Amino acid sequence: MLALILALGATAGLQAGTTPATPEKLVCRWYPEPSSRVKKTKVCKTRADWEYYDKEAREGARELLDTTRVRGRPGGM
């Protein structure tokens, strides 16, 4: 009985330690078409690609806000 438990524990450890090499899952988002109120386009990327895309968009927005500030007031007012 003890040998069976040890054997099962050893195979479970091997299974838990090995992960199959699978590509990242795709994450899809829907974006509205600029020329339509109804039509949307589906864009699919990996999670890492979306994180990079979101980071670049945030940095671009921050740069745009920083360049439009005049005398330390947001929006130049």
Cβ(47)–Cβ(25) below 8 Å: yes
- Please report which confidence band the pLDDT of residue 68 belongs to, taking 50, 70 and 90 as the band edges: confident
Could you say which DSSP state residue 19 is in? Answer: -
Listed in sequence order, the DSSP H helices in the chain are 2-17, 47-68
In terms of pLDDT, which residue wins out, 4 or 34? 34
pLDDT band at 67 (very low <50, low <70, confident <90, very high): confident
> pLDDT tens for residues 18-61?
555 566 899 999 999 999 989 999 999 999 999 999 999 999 99
- 71 pLDDT tier (thresholds 50, 70, 90): low
